[in-house]
Structures are given as structure tokens and as C-alpha cells.
Amino acid sequence: MKIIFSRIVSTLLLLLASSLAVFAAIRFSGGDVTAARMPASASAADRELFRKQIGLDQPILKQYITYMGNFVTGDLGNSLTSNARISSLAVEKIRNSLILGGSSLLIVFLVGVPLGMIAALRRNTWVDTGITSFSVAGMAVPNFWLALIAIHLFASTLHWLPSGGQGGFKSVILPALVLSAEGIALTVRITRSAMLENIGQDFVRTLRASGFSERRIYFKHVLRSSLLPIISLAGLRVGQVVGYALVVETIFGWPGVGQILVNAVLRRDYPVIQFFSLLLVVVVTLGNLLASIGYTLANPRLRK
């Protein structure tokens, strides 16, 4: 319990530090919206006045506190390009990204863990070779390219599924699968090697000698020990999903956080970049924290 508490405290501190870092990096680099808002002919004095009006002349720490205050009250500023209020965009984008990321995480573990177990139980057979080769290939294929192939095949040629956009259940299938490919491959790999390592442990021999059934040994005891690396992986997965969602959402035109952030970076829409990058930093940090708590709870050595 003490471990969990100290993890939460250090995560909060780091969250504070990293959000400040991200805030400062973006503000210093060009987050100064003066250039975007003022006509090119505006005089230096006018620019200075404008900066003063919106608080850009304040020290960065103060700007950060002001921003965070607004952040909490839901006042996130306006987009430079569309002039829409960011708070009105955010809810829908976040919801869409949660749908995509959530289904991807589900797919990764519902497919990856069983496949990894099958490969371990059928080790050195063609089943194992097949699953392992698939996972090596799955880790090597760039997911943006996989996305193009999937769109070309299932949407443009076969017309089975929509190529993206947001049209209910069907439209999430392709992006979610593409987003999951690398994760499935990695999960298969980690599950397989963890299962194999644990099947070789002395305690398995003890269980056999005590008359436990093979099924019980694999699915209860070996799997339980193998869950630890899988739980660590799950935490990393949250980050990976966030990262690759930037690419995959862009390709499939999935109107989520990833797409809006990439477009904002391309158009230098700094208020939008500021909010959504801070949001993703928070999500990733919390994902890591959850995984670390899960790991602690699943490991008797740490739990006690």
C-alpha cells in the first residue's frame, strides 16, 4: 500500500513538472499567438500591446498558473484556424478517441494473450511457428501502410467496411484493427515467452507431483505468474495507443484527439496544440500509474 501511495505522489509531481515543460516548450516556440492574430503590417508597439492584453508578457510560471486555472474551469481558448471554442470541440474528440483507443486495447489483449498462450502450449509445432512468424511480421509492418492496404482492400475494393470517418460501429473496425496490429504482435510475444519461462519453473513440477491437472496448471498457476509482464505491457500499451492513434486517426479521418493534434501542429494552431498535448500527457501518465498499481496489486511480494 505504501508503494502505491508513493507512486501516486511522485506521479502527481511529475505530472506537474511535465505539464509545465510541455506548456513552456510550446509557448516559447511559437505559442506566442501574436504573429497569427495580428496583421503583418501591425507595428511593434501594437504587437506589444496585444501581448500585454492576453498576458504573454507575464513570467512563464504565472502564465502556466493562469492557463491551468482556465483549464480547470473549462475555458480553453479558441482555435486559431476555425475560431471555434476548444472546450466545445474537446468533448466529442475525446469521446471518439476513447472509443477507438478502448476498442484497440480490448482487441490487443483479447486476441494477443490467448494467441500467445496457444503458441506456448503448442511450442515447436507449426501452430507456434505460424503465430510467432505472424507476430514478427506484425511488429515490422508500419501501421500507416497497413492502414492503406486495409482501406484499399476492405473499403475501396471489397466495399465491406467504411474507410473511416465516424459512422457507428462499422467505421471503428478498420482503424481499431490497424491500431491493434503491433500491440497484438507484442502481446503474443510477451505472453508466449512468459508462459514458456514459467512452465519451466520448479513450482510447476511440484504442482504436477501433487496431482494438479495440466489444464489447471496452465490456466491458473502458469498464467497467473505470466500476468505480471502482461500487466506492465498494458500500461505501456496505453501510451503506444495514444502515440499511434495520432497516425491512425489521421489516415482514417477519425475525428479524435490524434487527428486534431496532428492537424493543429501542421497548421501551427497553438492553443489547440497546447490543450490536446497536455491532455495526452495526462492520459499517458495516468495509464502508466494504473499499470504500476495493477502490477503492485498482482504481485504478492509488493502487495504485502
Partner 1 sequence: MSQTPLLELRDLSVGLKGDRVEYDIVRNINLSIYQNEILAIVGESGCGKSLTALSILGLHASPPLRITSGSITYDGRDLTKVSPEELRKVRGAEIAMIFQDPMSALDPMFTVGTLLTSAIRAHKKVTDSAAEKIAHECLADAGIEDPRRRFGEFPFQLSGGVSQRVMIALALVNNPKILIADEPTTALDVTVQAQILERLKDLKNERGMSIMLITHNLGVVASVADRMAVMYTGEIVEIGSVQNVFSVPQHPYTTGLLGAVPRLGSNSVALVPIIGRVPLPDNLPKGCTFADRCGRVVPECGVNRPELVSRGAAEVRCFNPFR
Partner 2 sequence: MNLLRRARKNKQLVSGSILATVIVLLGVVGPWLLGDYTDQDLLLGHLPPMTSGYLLGSDALGRDIAARVVVGIRISLIVAISVTVIAVVVGTAIGLVAGYIKGAVDSMISLVVDFIWGFPLILVAVLAAASIGSGLLPVILAVGLVNTVAIARVVRGEVLGLSEKEFVVAARAGGYSTMRILTRHLLPNIMPVVLVLSSYYVAVGIIAEASLSFVGLGAQPPLPSLGQMVSEGRNYMRLNHWESTVPGIVIFVMVLSVSLIGDGLRDLLDPRLRTAVERASSK
Residues that bind partner 2 (CB under 8 A): 10, 14, 18, 22, 25-26, 28-30, 123, 136-137, 139-145, 148-149, 151-152, 156, 193, 196-197, 199-201, 204-205, 208, 235-236, 239-240, 242-244, 246-247, 250-251, 261-262, 264-266, 273, 277, 280-281, 284-285, 287-288
In whole angstroms, the minimum distance from the beta carbon of 7 to partner 1 comes to 21
Residue among 22 and 228 whose Cβ is closer to partner 1:
228
85 pairs with which residues across the strands? 78
Angle at 16 between CA 15 and CA 19, to 5 degrees: 80
Residue among 37 and 216 whose Cβ is closer to partner 1:
216
Partner whose binding site includes residue 196, from partner 2, partner 1, none (CB under 5 to 8 Å by kind)? partner 2
CA-to-CA dists, residue 233 to 12, 25, 244, 258, angstroms:
21, 29, 16, 22
Binding stretches for partner 1 (CB under 8 A): 201-203, 205-214, 216, 221, 224-225, 300-301, 304
Residue 151 to residue 131: CA distance in whole angstroms? 24
Residue among 192 and 221 whose Cβ is closer to partner 1:
221
Residue among 190 and 207 whose Cβ is closer to partner 1:
207
Residue among 17 and 49 whose Cβ is closer to partner 2:
17
Partner whose binding site includes residue 14, from partner 1, partner 2, none (CB under 5 to 8 Å by kind)? partner 2
In whole angstroms, the minimum distance from the beta carbon of 197 to partner 1 comes to 13
Residue among 276 and 295 whose Cβ is closer to partner 1:
295
Residue 40 to residue 274: CA distance in whole angstroms? 24
Residue 246 to residue 254: CA distance in whole angstroms? 10
In whole angstroms, the minimum distance from the beta carbon of 205 to partner 1 comes to 6
In whole angstroms, the minimum distance from the beta carbon of 217 to partner 1 comes to 9
Partner whose binding site includes residue 203, from partner 2, partner 1, none (CB under 5 to 8 Å by kind)? partner 1
In whole angstroms, the minimum distance from the beta carbon of 132 to partner 1 comes to 19
Partner whose binding site includes residue 206, from partner 1, partner 2, none (CB under 5 to 8 Å by kind)? partner 1
Helix axes 169-199, 86-121, angle to 10 degrees: 40
Which residues lie closer than 8 Å to 67 by C-beta, 6 or more apart?
23, 274
Partner whose binding site includes residue 29, from partner 1, partner 2, none (CB under 5 to 8 Å by kind)? partner 2
In whole angstroms, the minimum distance from the beta carbon of 220 to partner 1 comes to 8
In whole angstroms, the minimum distance from the beta carbon of 304 to partner 1 comes to 7
78 pairs with which residues across the strands? 85
Residue among 290 and 298 whose Cβ is closer to partner 1:
298
In whole angstroms, the minimum distance from the beta carbon of 49 to partner 2 comes to 26
Burial, 113: exposed, middle or buried (Cβ in 10 Å; 0-12, 13-18, 19+)? buried
